[in-house]
Amino acid sequence: MLTRIDHIGIACHDLDATVEFYKETYGFEVFHTEVNEEQGVREAMLKINETSDGGASYLQLLEPTREDSAVGKWLAKNGEGVHHIAFGTADVDADSEAIRGKGVRVLYDEPRRGSMGSRITFLHPKDCHGVLTELVTSAPVESPEH
């Protein structure tokens, strides 16, 4: 089942300024950056620590690349801040189906590609006490990509 907090997603208007804040304030470094066209975001992953299951925990900073993206709409409604929490799992397919079987709405029929080659799906926030929840199966990480 779920093994760790994989990341906390934070929506922001200016990715570069937000990255700079986390670097200057907390000393966090960027581990990975990418643009996810499907989700309409530019993102930076800041590694916080390694975990006992071989994964890591991150802050994921998300800047929308278009206003009609999920993050763009969320920012327009809520402003900057915590967007979602993501839990790591060895098998996003099996765990999302098990959670769906407990009556929680899973937002994707099939997991999609996420950050750093991961496989992801989301759980409806109305079924998770107001928290948009992501399930993540990480891709094997060999070295940081920038």
Q: Give the pLDDT of residue 55.
A: 77
Residues 6+ apart with CB under 8 A from 92: 111, 119, 120, 121, 135, 136, 137
Active site residue 124: no
- pLDDT band per the 50, 70, 90 thresholds, residue 30: very high
Which tokens belong to 49?
């620590």
Is 84 an annotated catalytic residue?
yes
Is pTM, for the whole model, over 0.85? yes
Q: What is the pLDDT of residues 101-143, one digit of tens each?
A: 999 999 999 999 999 999 999 999 999 999 999 999 988 755 4
Sign (positive or negative) of CA dihedral 7, 8, 13, 14: negative
Q: Which of 39, 63, 83, 134 is catalytic?
A: 134
Please confirm, yes or no, whether 43 is among the known catalytic residues: yes
Rounded Cα gap, residues 108 and 129, in angstroms: 19
Per annotation, catalytic residue among 32, 43, 63, 83: 43
pLDDT digits (tens, 9 = 90+) for 70-98: 999 999 999 999 999 999 999 999 999 99
Q: For residue 92, what is the DSSP state?
A: H
